[in-house]
Structure 1
């Protein structure tokens, strides 16, 4: 039987478990929240027998499990005996930080039972003592931002594989049709000479080599493209370090037919050579 990598995310309510499981999902884990512990062996078995096989699984297990928490250590011992790798990640935070977070979210603590959040926190610490003592990794999130937590977990669990890099979506568009609603970064190309005013070029698009030849003859095109690539080469790794899984970069010209299409194709070639997974979309290329 194949072996699975099983990560249990647990810890204090308000310490960041929801963000942690999202981070593991982004780097390739098959994730589930609040599964009863008695179903854990069946879940792992189904994952490694599925098509495609899911050999990296992560689960959030915490005080919401109630009486199902009791058999957890026996179940994890059984999984290890079957050859699976099991790690427990315990997220913690100071009482002050947890109280503040519950106050900001206006949600009750699951163990407060109508009392103060601090009462619930004290009860939860008592309940989770054994889990904390048995954890392979304890993360204090009191002073961590969401991005800090994602970066930490990515470094702890990410493996080297092409799909682990940030995904890039490159889009061309026409300003006269409006800005793309999903763009993270927008760059204007309307200062470049427009093929629209050349009768032979007007019916073509930026995918035609003749449009590229026309644009690169302009003195400004190559320097602009080089500087844009340098800027994005600087920005994109910073977005990766922040824990982002995807980045959408949009380039616009007047109609979205010529200049922006050509430059998007140039950027796509550059970033594919750099090893990124690139999706290209020419939003307005078919519009009249």
Structure 2
């Protein structure tokens, strides 16, 4: 009988769980949204009785109906002891993003519809904190579009992809806007000479050829790229050996417009040359 691979999709209301389940469905998974946690063991047994016809399943679990199994983690652990593969995916977003999403859809928070949305968001965060700590993967959707979330999940969980390639995301940011936390590696490039102080370059983005040339011809930048190339050639095979399907590398400068963007663009070229799938995202490029 085929091994049952079970993905539990949970997280904060408004973080994109419904869109995530649609992505899993497109990737060939059998999906059920809002399944009461108490029914998960029964559902697993029913799948077993199908003789392997259902082998990849994604279940949406949340607390929209106010009934949330306190020992959900324990339940999942018990199912794992039966030999089933369970992957807990937790979606979240920053508070201000969640409040904006509820405001745009004109929906109250499903857990506490009679109070301001922010109170509902914070209360829900408290209730799912334990589940979040046990997640195998946490995705912050604050800066992801629906299409980017779908692409990310499809690459990581596509059905039948036993030999998935490592996908590397290069995320540029500005320290003055805060450090991203859903990352694996972080490099600070604020020591490089800054185009911000060159009047002709200041208004240009870091992917402009003139800014790239200014940044990348800096002797310190040349040394940095050499070190990064060597480090990536060392690290990437180790991540692949551990069967990692994703790696997020953050590169930060002061404002996230010039130096980090130029360095990330150059690093993407090196990683692509290694045969990797590389996603380049600029979080703060258009902020002032």
Q: TM-score, normalised by structure 1?
A: 0.53
Bigger-Rg structure (1/2): 1
- Note if 1:80 corresponds to 2:80: yes
Aligned CA distance change for structure 1 residues 159 and 111 (closer, same or farther; 3 Å): closer
TM-aligned CA deviation for residue 44 of structure 1: 1.4
**How many Å apart are 1:63 and its aligned residue?**
1.6
**Within-5 A mapping of 1:143-222:** 143-160=143-160
Contact 1:34 1:60 in 2 (8 A): yes
In 2, distance between residues paired with 1:86 and 1:24?
Answer: 15
Is contact 1:24-1:31 (8 Å) kept? yes
Q: What is the alpha-carbon distance in structure 2 between the residues aligned to residue 68 and residue 95 of structure 1?
A: 21
Alignment of 1:267-278 (within 5 A): none
CA-based RMSD of the aligned residues comes to: 1.6
Contact 1:37–1:71 under 8 Å retained in 2? no
Structure 1 match to 2:131: 131
**Partner of 2:108: helix, strand, or coil?**
coil
Listed as ranges, the gaps of 5+ residues in structure 2 are: 162-288
TM-score, normalised by the number of residues in structure 2: 0.53
1:1-49 C-alpha deviation (Å, 9 max, x unpaired) = 6531110100110000000001001111111011111111111121232
- Match of 1:69, SS? coil
- d(CA) in 2 for partners of 1:159 and 1:31? 13
What is the CA deviation profile of residues 126-168 of structure 1, one whole-angstrom value per residue up to 9, with x for unaligned ones? Answer: 001011111000000001000100011011111447xxxxxxx
Equivalent residues, number: 161
**3-state SS of the aligned residue for 2:66?**
helix
SS in 2 for 1:7: strand
In 2: Cα distance, 1:78 partner to 1:37 partner: 13
Helix, strand or coil: the match of 1:74? helix
Task: Give 4+ residue runs of structure 1 displaced > 6 Å after superposition.
Answer: none
CA pair 158-136 structure 1, distance change in 2 beyond 3 A: same
Distance 1:56 1:122 in 2: 33
Counterpart position of 1:54 = 54
Are positions 1:96 and 2:102 aligned together? Answer: no
Q: Following the alignment from structure 1 to structure 2, what is the Cα–Cα distance between the partners of residues 63 and 55? A: 26
Change (3 A) 1:73 1:98: same
Q: Deviations over 1:237-259 (max 9, x none)?
A: xxxxxxxxxxxxxxxxxxxxxxx
